[in-house]
Amino acid sequence: MNKNELALKKLKGRGVEFGALHNPVQIDTKKASVVYADKLNKQDAIAAFPEIEDVANDIVETDLIVDLDRDSLAFIREKDVDFVIANHVIEHLVNPISFLKRISDNLKPGGALFLTVPNKDHTHDKNRKLTRYRSLISKYYLRTKRLSNERIRDYLKFKSPVTEIHPRTVEYFENNGLPLSYYDGNKIPLNPIARSKLYDYHRQRSIHVHVWNRETFDFFLRRTIDLFKLKFEIEEALPSDVSPGEMIYLLRKI
């Protein structure tokens, strides 16, 4: 069973998908319906991500504006949601433990969380250090909601270099006076003013704040469920031979 087959089989009733953009998870529309929630509406998303303008027609319209690091997610309970899809979303969040806890608190018993996460070894994050669980514990108890300069710097310095930057991205950066790299042309770190502008851009946009491989994300998920007594059980976890580039889980609210 692959990711799409799992979603088609398991997701039923009324659902919400976070951060779908141009790649929403497939659902069986005969037994399920979904609304789309994101931090930006479609028009603003295209402006923030100029490289996806080529697939603008495939971007879903945003039904609900939601900041997953700040909002209570009470609408999940208020709208009697049966399932939540977070497909390549949790790695973008500052406080992923808080996110899982808020879903656990608001999703009704029997509801499903369809969760997928990129495996860092198969992405531009392969040179970055794995996220440490103790740092996530700290962010949870400090109620951290703002992306730190430290995490942005880690992303910019250690992500694998992109050999070809989309021309629309280059144009966007030039028009907005943004540097394309953490370093200038002589491999010297940017001056404080240029660096601050670049950090603010990535803070408003979206980066992989946290990086996991299969072993560390499985530990993160199981440890969080246990330590914070989340009302979830792992119903499905697709094996690496089915999904080598990402970790795919179906969690059930108990």
pLDDT of amino acid 70: 94
pLDDT of amino acid 117: 98
Please, is 71 exposed, middle or buried when counting C-beta atoms within 10 Å of its C-beta (0-12, 13-18, 19+)?
middle
Amino acid at 52: I
What residues contact residue 82 under an 8 Å CB cut-off, 6+ apart?
12, 13, 14, 15, 32, 108, 110, 111, 112
Please list the pLDDT of the chain residue by residue as tens digits (254 residues): 899 999 999 999 999 999 999 999 999 999 999 999 999 999 988 888 877 888 889 999 999 999 999 999 999 999 999 999 999 999 999 999 999 999 999 999 999 999 999 999 999 999 999 999 999 999 999 999 999 999 998 988 888 765 556 677 777 777 777 776 666 555 556 677 777 888 888 888 789 999 999 999 999 999 999 999 999 999 999 999 998 899 999 999 99
Q: Kindly report the number of other CB atoms within 10 A of residue 196's CB atom.
A: 12
Return the half-sphere exposure (C-beta side, CA atoms, 13 A cut-off) of residue 208.
Answer: 24
Alpha helices in the chain (DSSP H): 3-10, 42-48, 75-78, 96-106, 133-141, 149-158, 167-175, 192-204, 214-227
Which of 19, 39, 146 lies closest to 94, judged by CA?
Answer: 146
122 DSSP assignment: G
The structural domains of the chain, ordered by start, are 3-121+210-253 (3.40.50.150), 133-204 (no CATH)
Q: For residue 233, list its beta bridge partners.
A: 252
Place of tokens 């440490």: 132
- Sign of torsion over alpha carbons 106, 109, 114, 120: positive
Please, is 141 exposed, middle or buried when counting C-beta atoms within 10 Å of its C-beta (0-12, 13-18, 19+)?
exposed
Q: In what order do the strands lie in the sheet with 13-18?
A: 64-65, 32-38, 13-18, 83-87, 112-118, 246-253, 232-237
Distance of CA 8 to the CA centre of its chain: 21
